[in-house]
Structure 1
Amino acid sequence: MFDPYTGAEAAGGSALARPVAARLGLEPPRYCTQCGRRMIVQIAPDGWWARCSRHGTIDSSLLEQR
């Protein structure tokens, strides 16, 4: 597993220092959580989407449904 905001490998529950905007929910993820690759991110007035070349696309509307 990788941190979606820093790309650092998440080691067994250790706390990672995240940017303030990410902690406030104002920043979309920039890295794939499965492989750690940098994603293509598009921000729109009503949300955002991010695409990993290997693992596909995630969308802000998908996260709001949870």
Structure 2
Amino acid sequence: MSAVLEPTGQTDGVPPYCAWCGGARADGDHAACERRLATVDPPRHCPVCARRMVVQVDPVGWTARCSRHGESAGANGFG
């Protein structure tokens, strides 16, 4: 497993796409998506390109892989 990737193309440190719904961050409020990501769900979309990622969840965490931007991982409550 690798560390969480730092997305390129960020504006003010914020990736251009929502990691939960895949929508453009500039197009709406993603507070509900952020709550889901912080509590129970791993990311489903790449925050750099919005492609669906291959996600694997196990009892201690998750890994998510974008075909273009590599792998990220999380643990302890998926936060």
* TM class, shorter-length: 0.7 to 0.9
**Superposition TM-score, scaled by structure 1 size:** 0.77
Return the alpha-carbon distance in structure 2 between the equivalents of residues 52 and 24 of structure 1. Answer: 20
- 1:42 aligns to 2:79 (yes or no): no
Partner of 1:9: 24
Q: For residues 32-57 of structure 1, what are the alpha-carbon distances to aligned partners after superposition, in whole Å with 9 as ceiling and x for unaligned?
A: 00000000000000100000000000
**Superposition TM-score, scaled by structure 2 size:** 0.65
Matched letter for residue 30 of structure 1: R
Distance 1:56 1:8, change over 3 A: same
Hey, which bits of structure 1, 4+ residues long, moved more than 2 A?
Answer: 16-21
Structure 1: unaligned runs, 5 residues or longer: none
The percentage of aligned residue pairs carrying the same residue is: 37
**Given that residues 31 and 38 in structure 1 are in contact (C-alpha distance below 8 angstroms), is that contact kept between their aligned partners in structure 2?**
yes
Matched pairs, number: 62
Structure 2: unaligned runs, 5 residues or longer: 1-15
**Given that residues 50 and 59 in structure 1 are in contact (C-alpha distance below 8 angstroms), is that contact kept between their aligned partners in structure 2?**
yes
SS of aligned partner of 1:18: helix
Q: Larger RCO: Structure 1 or Structure 2 (Cα < 8 Å, ≥ 6 residues apart)?
A: 2
RMSD over aligned Cα atoms: 2.7
